[in-house]
Structure 1
Amino acid sequence: MFRRTFWFTAGAAAGVWATTKVNRKIKQLTPESLAAQAADKAVEAGHRLKEFALDVRAGMAQREAELGEALGLEERNDPHVIEHRRVAALDHNKHSYNRNEDH
């Protein structure tokens, strides 16, 4: 009699555990949950991309300062001058001549 009670209880506990596990998985796979997971991953990727861009910018500024020191151009490493050169370079790329535009 004790064996039957033990196995009945063990079976019922396993059934409850399996049902709970399946219900959790089903909730994870609903469209709303999948959309929320995708949005979270997109935000996380955006943060990582922003951190990467800031690291690249800092590395560029450091390397430019090193090159300026090596070439004796310290006065040209003023942040205002660097920003002005960057903006001028971007403006130049926007208005560069494209020989295919004339045809």
Structure 2
Amino acid sequence: MFRRAFWFSAGAAAGVWATTKVNRKLKQLTPESLAAQAANKAVEAGHRLKDFALDVRDNMALREAELGEALGLRAPVDDGSRPAALEPGRPAARPVAAVDHRTNDEHAKTYSYKTYSHNRNEDH
């Protein structure tokens, strides 16, 4: 008699445990739960990305300071002083613009698709 009662209660406990486990898993797989999990993971990824960006910014500033010391540009930008390369008496380097002095006909002949030998649409 005690043997049967033991196995009956063991079976009932196993059934309750299995049912609870399955119900928990089903709740995790509902669309609302999956959306919440995805949102939580996105927020965590955003925090990690923000931390990474802050680390990059800090290390970039540190490296710029090291390079400034190595190049002799120790003056900070905030105090109004300038490095020697940016002094007012010194001319600044300006980009040179390329000027095309050809007429429109010369320009059309040069850039026409028939003048290029590598054109694949050209009849051979």
**TM-score, normalization by structure 1:** 0.74
| Dislocated runs of 4+, deviation >2 Å | 77-81
Question: 1: distance between equivalents of 2:78 and 2:5?
Answer: 80
Question: 1: distance between equivalents of 2:33 and 2:79?
Answer: 48
Gaps of at least 5 residues in structure 1 are 82-103
The residue number in structure 2 matching 1:18 is 18
| Cα distance change on mapping 1:11 and 1:67 into 2, 3 Å | same
1:67 and 2:48 matched: no
1:28 and 2:28 matched: yes
**TM-score, normalization by structure 2:** 0.61
Q: Which of 1 and 2 has greater Rg?
A: 2
What is the deviation of 1:39? 0.4
| Cα distance change on mapping 1:79 and 1:48 into 2, 3 Å | farther
What RMSD over aligned residues (CA atoms) do the two structures have, in Å? 1.5
The residue number in structure 2 matching 1:2 is 2
The residue number in structure 2 matching 1:38 is 38
Q: Secondary structure at the match of 2:53?
A: helix
The residue number in structure 1 matching 2:77 is 78
